[in-house]
Amino acid sequence: MPFFDFFLLFSAPGVIKLLPALPDAWREGRFRGLRCRGGAEVSMAWSLAAGIAEASFVSARTQSVEVEFPFALQEATSDDAEAAVSLPEALDKATRHRLVHLPAGRTVTLKLRFA
């Protein structure tokens, strides 16, 4: 993974952190096809000025992952009924984290609004 990819994505088994070290100058942007530990691939587009982002995941195997965002979320939704999006059990993580179920081989897209 090239060095600048670490600005955009960090992963560990069961955890995906999106935009963990985003430079201030990157107020909007996108990336496609970054691979995570655990067999998932992530694409994302964001606009900090508009307060919106969209993140897509494709997993090689069925799994649930905790996705962490660098901003407090007002909304995180998916149109895919099998891709359950829920709050984590730890309340201190509720504003920036979501648990996402990823069915094997299917694209799951989250639409995000943040403060």
Share of the chain above pLDDT 70, in %: 90
106: which 2 tokens? Answer: 């299917």
Write down the pLDDT at residue 101: 93
The larger pLDDT score, comparing residue 79 to residue 67, is at 67
pLDDT at 6 over 90: no
Quote the Cα angle for 10-94-9, to 5°.
10
Indicate the class that CATH gives domain 5-114: mainly beta
Residues 28, 19: Cα–Cα separation, whole Å:
11
User: CA 33, CA 57: separation in Å to the nearest integer?
Assistant: 9
3-state secondary structure of 18: strand
pTM recorded for the entire structure: 0.88
Q: What is the pLDDT of residues 15-46, one digit of tens each?
A: 999 999 988 899 999 999 999 999 999 999 99
Q: Work out the pLDDT band at 57, boundaries 50, 70, 90.
A: very high
Domain residue limits, the chain: 5-114
Token digits of residue 86: 């829920």
Terminal C-alpha separation, the chain: 30
pLDDT in tens, 70-93: 888 888 888 777 767 877 766 666
